[in-house]
Amino acid sequence: MKTTNNKSGMIGTAVVLVILLAACIAVDMTLPSFHIAVTVIKKATVYALVAVSMNLLNGFTGLFSLGQAGFMLLGAYSYAILTIPVAKRAGVYQYFDGGWVQFSLPEAFSGVLGDTVGSVIGMLLALLVGGVLAALVAYLIGLPVLRLKSDYLAIATLGFAEILRAFFQWDKLGPLTNGSNLLKSYPTFSHATPYVILAGLMIAVIVLLINSTYGRAFKAIRDDEVAAEAMGINLAHHKRLAFIISSFFAGIGGGMMAMYMGTIASLPFKSSLTYEILLIVVIGGIGSVSGSVIGTFLYVACSEWWLRFLDRETFIGSFKVPLLRSGFRMVVFSVVIMIIVLFFSKGIMGEKELSWKGIGGLFQKRKKAAPAAEKED
């Protein structure tokens, strides 16, 4: 009976998420690519994937890691380095004699499969390489780091991310990373639909993993390590596996972020990016995939779009509306986040998932409440 409920809940969650993705695609198809709504969808899909990958580790396995920005950096640089057209490398790597890498995956596949199909295949392969590189580094880092627990693990992974960011700015590595200079001129998607489809597929894979035997083992480790070990679960193996998988998807998210930004450098991948993703996870609900997705779209929409009017000076006749000025948006946004955290201590969704059953229950409660109110009258 419990298995049937889990399957129906997973199907319901999948259907709801598909509807949300379809709505994003419809908005993208209706509006021009430069519209703020399309920009919000692009950024939100990237952040949603990284937030869900972080939730897999922090929320479902119970490992407090803060290295997400470092793995995103690996994915972003891998994508950019492997996709810059050969003809433009001399201009991009002007201080490093054109760089070490003298090929482009989209161009290589375009010669075989045609311009459009070949370019897309090359771009997707570059994303995959970034994810695999992040997973490989996570495996190596995880061997010593995953022996630590709680805050010590968080400090160690945070330190790793900062060291990696400084390493990528090293001039000796400049022919590969371009040092502290921008990587640019690589191919991107102008519309939001490819971002939505990519992030949706990646999140679907994570959902399937969470509902598999591995996912149940992760949750058992989160709830009680001693009991999990007594049941025969290999703690070291499953912790390492969760860390590697989370890093893989963070690497892909980093590559998608490079697409979204159009130019890339190590500066945006500071610890503040990890804190931003962690905040989204907390707002949505630690241990809820749909909570991370909903929290991401609300966070990005509020910070990038809905509260923008608060940064503009406004006059009513000759009267200047007080407080409305540049920077006031973030003040209001911070207050909103504080209110959410205070009144929703477990996040918007808690550990629950969005499903048809839950939505249907809300409507049934309203229908039952209406006749009761009529009787009282």
pLDDT for the residue 245: 96
Angstrom distance (rounded) from CA 61 to CA 240: 10
The pTM assigned to this predicted structure is: 0.89
Q: Which of 132-136, 168-172, 199-203, 231-235 has the highest mean pLDDT?
A: 132-136
Mean pLDDT over the full length of the chain: 87
The model's pLDDT over 89-119, given as tens digits with 9 standing for 90+, comes to 999 999 999 899 999 999 999 988 888 899 9
Angstrom distance (rounded) from CA 225 to CA 14: 30
**Percent of the chain whose pLDDT exceeds 70:** 90
CA angle 239/245/248 to nearest 5° reads: 140
pLDDT for the residue 311: 78
Write the DSSP string, 171-183.
GGGHHHH-TTSPB
pLDDT for the residue 362: 44
DSSP state, residue 52 = H
Helices (H), the chain: 2-30, 36-58, 68-83, 86-92, 105-113, 115-145, 150-168, 174-177, 193-210, 213-223, 225-230, 235-261, 271-284, 289-301, 328-343, 356-376
Q: Is the pLDDT of residue 240 over 80?
A: yes
Q: Is the pLDDT of residue 223 over 80?
A: yes
Q: Which amino acid would we find at residue 132?
A: V
pLDDT for the residue 376: 55
Average pLDDT rounded to a whole number, residues 316-341 = 78
Q: Is the pLDDT of residue 62 over 80?
A: yes
Centroid of chain to Cα 25:
18
From the CB of residue 26, how many other CB atoms can be counted at a distance below 10 Å? Answer: 11
The model's pLDDT over 117-152, given as tens digits with 9 standing for 90+, comes to 999 999 999 999 999 999 999 999 998 998 888 789
Is residue 220 within 8 A of residue 228, CB to CB? The reply is yes
Average pLDDT rounded to a whole number, residues 334-339 = 84
Higher pLDDT, residue 337 or 92: 92
Write the DSSP string, 98-157.
T-S----HHHHHHHHH-HHHHHHHHHHHHHHHHHHHHHHHHHHHHHHHTTS-HHHHHHHH
pLDDT for the residue 314: 73
